[in-house]
Amino acid sequence: MKNGIKRTKETLHEALSGQTGRPLYSREALDAIRRGFDQWMETVVREADRDHWRKTPHTVLGSDAPRELLYTPLSDPDFDYERDLGNAGEPPFTRGIHANMYRGREFTMRQLTGFGSPEQTNERLKFMLDHGATGLNILFDLPTIQMYDSDDPFAVGQVGMSGVCVDSVEDMARLFKDVPLDEVTISIVTHYPSNTAILFPMFLALAEERGIPWENLKGSVQNDITLEELIRSGSEYIPPKDCFRIQCDNIEFIRKHVPKWNFVTLNGYNLREFGTSAITEMAVAVLNGMEILEELVRRGYEVDSVADRLAFFWSAANDFFEEVARIRAVRRLWYKIVKYRFHAQNPRAMLMRCHVQTSGVCLIQEEPRNNIIRSAYHALAAVLGGAQSLHVDSYDEAYSVPTEEAALLSLRTQQILQKETGVTEVVDPLGGSFYVEALTREIENRILEEIDEIEALGGYVKAIEGGQVYEKVATYFSDQQRLIEAGEIPVVGQNVYRSAAQGPPIDVFQYPEGVEERQKDRLQKLRLNRDNDKVQTTLNALKDACQKGKNILPYSVACARARCTEGELFKVFKDAFGLWKPPALF
């Protein structure tokens, strides 16, 4: 955010304060309710409850927003149905982005999959599709995420652990063998802008080799600076401003050439799981979204043509109603921002679409089967909040990557919600609840306050460089740890109702062995058999594009076609941009 630009809070305040509302409750009704309420408070409510009318629930990853004992129309006397809620699929979209929500389209059941060799993950993908999964989420191993080849010294001992290894377009082909790329929606969990610019071109080159036009591909990449520069712990970082530029290069290229593909997943999830509050999670992702819109407008794009494909990614944690309210709140806030700050015209551009994953940090090792219950509540909150797609964490994730049995149980949790509980029949079933509406408003205000704080520091990218966001997160998670250890955040089986017997042991996924050796052999063969002159030419052209400020994607696609490896491309980025040292947290 450049100097001189009005801050978001102020902009919204000015745009909205002039609007005359139509409050739902008449003065007369409110007066009568007030009289009855005061009398009830005096005569019925016990003194102890009166004294502690507002109480702050301490929950894992919660907002610490205080709650009243009972909510009434008096909690939000100016409540205006059209202004604050509207019908589903209509501004301000509090009730959902579609008029018919889940009756029209069921939430996509997306489970993360990835471990071992590309062939091993391919087997699991087919298993999930055979059992009714409607989307695929591909998770990579650490060397792939961190952009090192499987034979790099940095990769030793980590190839194929906790994700699948992909070094080149040839591994991409093994990973998606027999998977119809144009029929399933595929979420490629690339995490960072840098590895999105490396791995997604491999996917595009594969589609090309199979004769599938890019226009037919449907899915998403993460492509998020928060993951690369803030959450990540790694050995080498490129500077935040260059990372932000790659993020926008990815968006620009995908928008133009892969029109059905979601080019960024504004990630709140991983930041929250790293250890931040229900509020900061959303403030940060919204800020990133705003800076992306600003940059793409600067590059000459209409705000509508970019905003209509932005997607968000949220975590669902323990405080049930807060989780429902949060999704509703940020949907309304995002609408206001895109409309009043960016002056978008197309209502589709104002929609906050989101994928929700249940919280992994809320799952614990003690009595692991309890985690099934936790995740089911998280999932229910996400659905009541109106999420577009869902991943349910598996109960064994406090130990390892899920076993096949645990992964299936997660999928079943979703299917039971969708088919048995009836919760998808009615749109926004909690809308109009005095409590949920008051909480939605409170959370929206808090998110806007935190956005304002970071804008005051010069904007999001600046606040990453300056270390202030990092500091905020670290303070929050240290406090959470202290509260859990002090028993102030109750965790069943850990600090309350702790039982001596741990129950029968569970099966834990065993990481496959031998993947590293096989992958090293493959790389060696690849390097012998490809046209190495072409490899060098395409890598040089990429470096040139990095340095001259051209969109790098056409060049990284050329690299993928030439069978360059991931590590080779990352090296180009490091050479072109130099390395950055993140602020020391400790």
Binding footprint of other proteins on the chain (CB under 8 A): 142-143, 145-146, 148, 153-158, 161-162, 231-235, 274-275, 364-366, 398-401, 474, 477-478, 481-482, 485, 494, 505, 508-511, 584-586
Minimum CB distance to other proteins smaller for 421 or for 478: 478
Minimum CB distance to other proteins smaller for 19 or for 233: 233
Minimum CB distance to other proteins smaller for 181 or for 508: 508
Q: How far, in Å, CA of 317 to CA of 269, rounded?
A: 10
219-221 and 108-113 beta bridge pairing:
unpaired
The answer to whether 297 and 255 have CB atoms below 8 angstroms apart is: no
State whether residue 173 is helix, strand or coil.
helix
Q: State the nearest-atom distance from the C-beta of 510 to other proteins, in Å.
A: 8
Q: State the nearest-atom distance from the C-beta of 158 to other proteins, in Å.
A: 4
Q: State the nearest-atom distance from the C-beta of 571 to other proteins, in Å.
A: 16
Minimum CB distance to other proteins smaller for 208 or for 366: 366
Long-range (24+ apart) CB contacts under 8 A made by 373-378 are 374/318, 375/410, 375/413, 376/413, 376/417, 377/318, 377/320, 378/316, 378/317, 378/318, 378/323
Minimum CB distance to other proteins smaller for 146 or for 267: 146
Q: Closest Cα partner for 386 from 295, 312, 279? A: 312
Minimum CB distance to other proteins smaller for 518 or for 550: 518
- Map 52-109 to HEC letters: CCCECCCCCCCCCCCECCCCCHHHCCCCCHHHHHCCCCCCCCCCCCCCCHHHHCCCEE
Minimum CB distance to other proteins smaller for 144 or for 185: 144
Q: How far, in Å, CA of 443 to CA of 260, rounded?
A: 32
Minimum CB distance to other proteins smaller for 93 or for 192: 192
Q: State the nearest-atom distance from the C-beta of 477 to other proteins, in Å.
A: 6
State the residue for tokens 């007369």. Answer: 28
Q: State the nearest-atom distance from the C-beta of 504 to other proteins, in Å.
A: 13
Minimum CB distance to other proteins smaller for 14 or for 485: 485
Q: State the nearest-atom distance from the C-beta of 425 to other proteins, in Å.
A: 38
Which secondary structure element, helix H or strand E, spans residue 353, and what is its range? Answer: strand 353-358
Q: State the nearest-atom distance from the C-beta of 223 to other proteins, in Å.
A: 16
Q: State the nearest-atom distance from the C-beta of 315 to other proteins, in Å.
A: 14
Minimum CB distance to other proteins smaller for 277 or for 414: 277
Minimum CB distance to other proteins smaller for 216 or for 475: 475
Q: How far, in Å, CA of 44 to CA of 54, rounded?
A: 17
Q: State the nearest-atom distance from the C-beta of 233 to other proteins, in Å.
A: 4
The answer to whether 251 and 264 have CB atoms below 8 angstroms apart is: yes
Q: How far, in Å, CA of 92 to CA of 83, rounded?
A: 7
Could you report how far apart the first and last alpha carbons of the chain are, in Å? 28
Q: Closest Cα partner for 475 from 288, 274, 240, 229? A: 274
Q: State the nearest-atom distance from the C-beta of 310 to other proteins, in Å.
A: 24
The answer to whether 271 and 231 have CB atoms below 8 angstroms apart is: yes
What are 344's two structure tokens?
């978008």
DSSP state of 338: I
Q: State the nearest-atom distance from the C-beta of 415 to other proteins, in Å.
A: 27
Minimum CB distance to other proteins smaller for 30 or for 398: 398
Q: How far, in Å, CA of 295 to CA of 251, rounded?
A: 11
CB neighbourhood size of 83 (10 A): 18
State the residue for tokens 């004769």. Answer: 211
Minimum CB distance to other proteins smaller for 445 or for 495: 495
Q: How far is CA 3 from the centre of its chain?
A: 29
User: DSSP characters for 184-242?
Assistant: SEEEE---SHHHHHHHHHHHHHHHHHTT--GGG--EEE---HHIIIII---S-B--HHH
| C-alpha Rg value of the chain to the nearest Å | 24
User: Rounded to 5 degrees, what are φ and ψ at 70?
Assistant: -145, 140
Q: State the nearest-atom distance from the C-beta of 149 to other proteins, in Å.
A: 12
Q: State the nearest-atom distance from the C-beta of 492 to other proteins, in Å.
A: 12
**Contact partners, residue 532, CB within 8 Å, separation at least 6:** none
Q: State the nearest-atom distance from the C-beta of 497 to other proteins, in Å.
A: 14
Minimum CB distance to other proteins smaller for 363 or for 381: 363
- Map 257-279 to HEC letters: HCCCEECCEEECHHHHHHHCCHH
Q: How far, in Å, CA of 21 to CA of 310, rounded?
A: 30
